[in-house]
Structure 1
Amino acid sequence: MAMSKADTQDAGQHYLVCNTEGCQSNCQFYCNACHQEMCEECRDEHLKNPDNRRHEVVPYRQRRHQLPKEKCKQHPTKYIDMHCDDCNIPLCSQCSTMSDHLRHKLVDLETIYSENCAECQGKIRQIYQYFIPTSEELRQETNANITEIKKIMDDIRTSVKAEGERLKKLVEKVILQKIVGVNDVENSITAMLQDQGKTYEDYISYLKNVVKEFSGYLSSTQLLGNPMISTISGQLTIKSIPQTTKPFPPVFTPGQFSEVDVSKLLGTVNASTYKQENRAIKPMETLKPTDQMKQDEKKSDVKQTLSLSSFVTKVKEYRMTGVKRPYHVSLGKSGSVWVSDDDGNLVHTDLQGNALQKIKTSSDFTGYHTVTQDMDLIYADRKKHVINRITMDNKVTEFIKTGDWEPLCIHSSKINGDILVGMIKDKVAKVLRYNKTGREIQNIQRDNKEQELYRNPRYITENINGDICTSDFGITGVVVVNKSGHHRFSYSGQQSGFSPWGICTDVVGHIIVCDGRLKNRTVDILDQDGQFLHFIHREPSFLFPCSVCMDDENNLHMGQYPTNKVTVFKYLQ
């Protein structure tokens, strides 16, 4: 079903224009009586009219949905605008005067429609904010169980083989039978867990279909048969999250050594006899709005009305003491800034340039530090193959060890707090995802054709849709994969010799990347699908942009080589 223009704009959060004739200002308000989008100035003029003083003008996101216009089949000159509760059918005003509906309870149809639309939108929000995230957590838990069971079964296999070595040739004949038994148990448990994972995948797919169905109700121009005009409760329902059980690993029991009882000596592998325990599904009512959720909602309201400005405004400029060149910038709490250069200097200052903390690292001109949701700083020490955390009280602790891999760039997700790390070893590169506790949960290295995605990932960020965007020096391009790690697109610039440096995304989903080639010196802006929109900034001949990040006011902070200056620009309106 086609969505109305207003619904399409609201769902996609595009730039909204005032609907007053001749006005092209940004829409912020909505008159429920006139069903008209308005800017602030037109709203004031609208309410000055004595005829409009009783009109209800609300913020656009709080608007009442307009009832689709449909002619009454019995009275073609009249529109359906009432609802008979006794008969549970929509009517026109002339139908309501007929004998069939005398003394029946009649209700304004637009009120019912608006209330049901609000309920439908609420259900959609519940799906996105509770049902899908909770189901995804359960799916990830089943995957973790698979890994755990695999490790346990590996331990059992080792025990069985150790027993076989002690019994030498006498045991060799029996040990194969035991291994088969172990494999059968593992396959059974793994199959069960995979079925559970498939159950949640199917359920998530069902939830997305429910979203489409409910969205269809919102945009439908048909009244008959549309749940949006029904007063009967329970029309908009969502199936409960499927219940699954946690597996209990089997236990290996050693046997007694004897030629006659070889089978017993090798032990047995038995499935757990414990009663299977249901997985814990957090109830919806325990989800209380956190400060972060309120801030995200506020950002979403801002995002709805933001778009690219036709001009870029310089807001301010500040110098960073203690660094030679601002190759990477991370914004901390209360306007503080973390900046690093190519000499391993990592400096924490305020916007007046006063140094708060300085750390010496072995990293160079890469995006090797980021600020977490908890406002801690985490940074990669390339030569030591470790990622450290600096807490608010300035304590430095070891957070993640990367083994033989050199961590180059890092980003803390604003969506869920995950840590994205680009790393390299022996000219092979990859991106790993860690959860908040530092446990590896995703490895991204090849595309669906088994081709290497990365060669030298130097800067990394995440877009509002979960895409992972990486500036790669080796590929000399921007590589974008979705949150599942599947390659979406690559960007190789608008000018020859594109050299991607600092990269970030904004609240609208734009991708902003520095082109540091000496002949180019631009900051490119792309949409979420990699389409070039325009240049935000072109540097003078003696400077080039090398780092970018966004603040909470939707301003762009840009570091400039070879100075120690960071310039702040506004490019959204």
Structure 2
Amino acid sequence: MDPRTSAQDVMRCDLCETAVVQMHCDTCLVNLCRACVGEHMVSDESKKHEVVRFTLRKSTPLYPGCKIHDKQQCTMYCNQCDIPVCDTCLASDQHLGHKLLKILQVLNEKKEKIIKENIELNQIIYPTYQDIASDVQNRMSQLEKEYGDLSTAITQHGESWHREIDKIVQKLKAEVDEMKNSQLQTLQKHLDEIKKRISEIKNEISSFEVDVDYNDISKLLRVTSNIDRHRKLPEKIVHSLPTFSQGRIQKLCKIFGTLISSSFSTSEKTGYSMKTTQQSPEAGSSPPVKQLLDEPEIVSTIDTGFGYLYNVVCQNDEEIWTTRHNSTMKLFSISQGSLLKSITTKSENMPDDITVTISGDLVYTDYWDKTVNIMRKEKIEEVIRLQNWRPSGVCSTSSGDLLVIMESDDNKQTKVVRYSGSTEKQTIQFNEQGYTLYSAGTCYRNITENRNLDICVSDNRAKAVVVVNQAGKLRFRYYEHAHTPKNKRLSPLGITTDSQSHILTVDSNNDCVHIIDQDGQFLRYIDCGLSRPWGLCTDTNDNLFVSQNYLNQVKKIKYLQ
């Protein structure tokens, strides 16, 4: 057909190219007029030509040819071998006992699947990707603005510093002038006294010369001299310059302000969701947004009668486990404050840390026995036994794995190991540059998993909270925030997270709890009269439980709305 007049043309027979199309061969995909049907049927007698009316074209299924037997059409499908088969294949023993389906049934199922997938692609996936692209573009624009605001803030801060430095320079120079003038006045006064003495000496010299010229004995006897006074020279006044103690420029960056590095994180739980008119299960399980209270409040106090209290972990919303400086672990009722159960470790060593699995079993680490143990149905079982390493902190993850902090016997290495049961799945020890993530040497280290699957460790020796992603890549280190309640250095011990992905860590030096967001930004302190806080955990309602080491108490604190 002429493209320039195709709108007015009708379809012509592919054989004679003159008559109007009336028929169609579904086997050869050829358009025919009625007169040419016979000629087409005999053109290739090896094929079974399926000629239908043009309006019913493509209605006849094209059976695939058998790859083993030439010129045989496959009308069946072997589900086990996942291939089409012909009658000759079926007559052989090759597919004996296999599940066979009519190939048309497989064709229809495949068509239905393609149709459904095409609908999903068109109505759900494609619009979702369009929304994602729009979201990324919007965030790029927002990023440009936010980074611009950040640069402006740094510039303004720098200008403020320049003004303050100018004031400091002027003040110091004024002090220098004042000190100089004071010392010059002192030296001038001293000079005046010396000049006065010089004048007196000159007068005496002149007087002596006159007196010596006379021979009048009586007059000479009356001459007196002040030479003894002049022999005693005046004290020498030595000035000293003030010293200018220069601040170390190397520390200027830290004083001026620092940037906490940004990062990108990806997670199936916190990422994009498919566009749909119905709420997905994931969306349904997303926690409601809760704001921090202006003033955290102590809801209740549980007096454990348990000297030197250490760890605390929720068994559920009604019960908490605690440990102390002996081999005993105790379970308390939160509402009643009463003792429900007391368990002794298998080795009678002090447990270094405790956690509760998603199935409700208590797990504890035995540092000296080099084991990780679990209590099931009142019976303690050894889950992990280490060689050349000693376990300290432990936590149970949302997937049911155990994360264990361990130290080498020579106290030169520290690492985090993920276990599925007793099988080691992952080791986290070094950053991308090959440097160690955690400090070496014996100290208290606790571990927890955030909702975004980040792994958070309170490293007391390093005075930091170290956070890596699920793959073990360093996301950030949190050292401290300015103006701590007691202005002492951060001393992190217990650590936990909540439904908002906040990270909370005890600061025993400052008797408070630091709250930071999942990217390491400081949010606030919980400072409500805590004394030597140590262990930390949250329940499903975001109530915070803090153990107090010296007071032998556990405080239940509400800090979210």
**TM-score using structure 1 length:** 0.46
Greater C-alpha radius of gyration: 2
**TM-score using structure 2 length:** 0.47
